[in-house]
Amino acid sequence: MGTGEPLIRFKHAAIGYGRKVVLSGVDLAVERDAFVGVLGPNGSGKTTLMRTLLGLIPCLKGQLVLSGAGGRPPRLGYVPQKERLDPIFPLSAYDVASMGAYRRFDLMRRLRREDDRPLVERALAACGASALAARAYGDLSGGQKQRVLIARALASEPQLLVLDEPLAGIDVSTQKALIELLRKLKVERGLTVLMVSHRIHVERGLFTHVLLCDEGEATIGPTEEMLSGGRLRALFENEP
């Protein structure tokens, strides 16, 4: 996948919950600047792999190594598939996007410094969501919410962006707009991106590599190489 120290490396890892192993023998690397589509049927371990990557659960065996700038772990930006925020709590789109900046500063204080607000405003602008800033997040459409959630992730100034099916439940025209947004952000910000997907026919043009979870194993390779066999096509031939 390239040269140099990978940004992400799983070394002979077993991944799962408690004593239940979901993926075993995981030995793979993700290089900097890759755009990786994380694919596989339901229940194949995609979510478990992402939770491990995000540090929410540990490897059961083996090791996960994250190598960012200066040898430190990379800053992570995360975009969930759906965000449930209490509708009676009056959060604006700006409020939601600003949550991404909290990890950069003291969680116990409000955003007050001169450089805090521009950081959030730049993130919203990068996602084409500046006009949404003052609107109630709960009143936004699905596509608008996803733009705000991507802005929230960008406000953390990540090196690694992880997205969990960001196009789920969104109409086709909005899907295309978000695909172009992700393509632009990848190039302009030099991000490494992992994106869980079920729509390979829609999103494959984004991916430099595919990470396939299936039958208790995880494998990775260049997109065209991974899509050249009948195995992966068969997994998605009936997808809408």
List, for residues 129-159, the tens digit of each pLDDT value: 999 999 999 999 999 999 999 999 999 999 9
84, HSE (Cβ side, Cα atoms, 13 Å): 0
Strands 209-214 and 35-39: parallel
Q: pLDDT category, 125, cuts 50, 70, 90?
A: very high
d(CA 191, CA 221): 19
Domain edges within the chain: 1-74+159-240, 90-157
108 vs 80, higher pLDDT? 80
pLDDT at 102: 73
Whether 98 has a pLDDT exceeding 50, the answer reads yes
pLDDT at 1: 45
Q: The tokens of 161 are what?
A: 């962006």
Bridge partners of residue 211, in order along the sequence: 38, 220
pLDDT at 104: 53
C-beta contacts of 130-134 below 8 A and 24+ residues apart: 132/93, 133/92, 133/93, 133/94, 133/97, 134/92, 134/93, 134/94
pLDDT at 231: 56
Please report, rounded to a whole number, the percentage of residues in the chain having pLDDT higher than 70.
85
What is the mean predicted confidence (pLDDT) over 40-62?
A: 92
- Share the mean pLDDT of the chain: 85
What homologous superfamily is domain 1-74+159-240 in, according to CATH? P-loop containing nucleotide triphosphate hydrolases (3.40.50.300)
What is the mean predicted confidence (pLDDT) over 217-239?
A: 74
> pTM here?
0.87
pLDDT at 107: 43
Q: The tokens of 236 are what?
A: 């998605």
